[in-house]
């Protein structure tokens, strides 16, 4: 079993969150079977 070499936690400002939230779900039906 491998070992974890580093763990990084970060907090984004609201502006950074908006910059990161660019994911666009084009085919929502593909997510129906994810549950």
Q: How far is 35 from 23, CA to CA, in rounded Å?
A: 19
Q: What is the pLDDT of residue 34?
A: 61
Q: How far is 3 from 5, CA to CA, in rounded Å?
A: 6
Q: pLDDT tens for residues 17-26?
A: 777 766 666 6
Q: pLDDT tens for residues 1-35?
A: 788 888 877 788 888 877 776 666 666 676 666 65
List the chain domain ranges.
1-35
Q: How far is 1 from 3, CA to CA, in rounded Å?
A: 7
């Amino acid at each position: 079993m491998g070992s974890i070499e580093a763990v990084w936690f970060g907090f984004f400002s609201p502006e950074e969150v908006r910059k990161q939230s660019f994911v666009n779900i084009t085919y929502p039906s593909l997510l129906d079977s994810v549950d």
